[in-house]
Amino acid sequence: MSRLRSLGRGLVSGATRFAADARDLIFPPHCPGCGAARDPRSAGELCDPCRRDLPLPEAWLCPGCGIAGTGGAGAFCPGCRGRCAPDAVIHAAAYAGTARELVRRFKYRADFTAGRLLGRLLAERVAAALPGGVDLLVPVPLHRRRLGARGFNQAALIARDVGRRLVTRVDLAALARGRDTRTLAGLHPEERASELAGAFAARRPERIAGLRVLVCDDVLTTGTTAEGCCRALKDAGAVWAGIAVAARVLLPLAHRERHAALPEDA
């Protein structure tokens, strides 16, 4: 029965991707940021207004406090180091403007052109942040119920794109989401932490032990999901575990308990 469910999810995901790719072939090229028709002779993937509205990171700031500069991209400052499970938090863009539209079009409208662009932007950022690379890329897992409803795991597609561009091994099944969780949007950070407690586990710890592992996802808000995934990887023996996301809500992790109405990060 589980094999049939897996086959069914694969067929749904394949059909969704085929429909999106067929749309790209039949209809004129579109801007993945706003959906407007784009001149096929124009350079780049975004239209000019969306390109100008893409909030790319400009400085390497500590992902814990959001204030102190650090020696490396995504690294924590001395005051925050060791307080969080992730060893690094890397994002391709702030969750605003064009980046927010790219994520929403990819995640909720199956716009795979937007997804591929997010993958490219994140791959470029990871290459700059971690010149030594990592051993393994893994996506944040979706529970099978949500995967069946959506037809694809956006984090898995981003991880595959990043892995292909950086020539890094990807394990789509390294982490498991053992139980379904309610939507995190609107929950207080403490409620998010309680909801996700014990939700993630490594499927085969022997494949993770001793490795440097980078978790990929679409959006990071409070960092609760990142914490859960990185803790599960370290419990399985990973020597280093970081998180790389296409877009990040630019609110320092240390002060997010003051804000309840945040977008969902998984």
CATH number at residue 111: 3.40.50.2020
Has residue 33 been placed in a domain? no
- Banded model confidence at residue 256, pLDDT cuts 50, 70, 90: very low
Is the pLDDT at 74 greater than 50? The verdict is: yes
Residue 20 belongs to a domain: no
46 inside domain: no
3-state SS, one letter per residue, for the chain: CHHHHHHHHHHHHHHHHHHHHHHHHHCCCECCCCCCECCCCCCCCCCHHHHHCCCCCCCCECCCCCCCECCCCCCCCCCCCCCCCCCCEEEEEECCHHHHHHHHHHHHHCCHHHHHHHHHHHHHHHHHHCCCCCCEEEECCCCHHHHHHHCCCHHHHHHHHHHHHHCCCECCCCEEECCCCCCCCCCCHHHHHHHHCCCEEECCHHHCCCCEEEEEEEEECCCHHHHHHHHHHHHCCCCEEEEEEEEECCCCHHHHHHCCCCCCCC
Q: Which of 97-106, 138-147, 188-197 has the highest mean pLDDT?
A: 97-106
Instruction: Please check whether residue 1 lies inside any domain of the structure.
Output: no
Tell me if 210 is assigned to some domain: yes
Inside any domain, residue 158: yes
Closest to 91 (Cα-Cα) out of 67, 126, 135, 140? 126
| Any domain includes 265 | no
Question: What is the domain range of residue 235?
Answer: 56-258
Number of domains in the chain: 1
* pLDDT tens-digit map of 4-55: 444 454 444 455 555 555 555 555 678 888 888 876 665 558 888 999 999 8
pLDDT tens digits along 176-226? 987 555 454 554 555 555 555 567 899 999 999 999 999 999 999 878 888
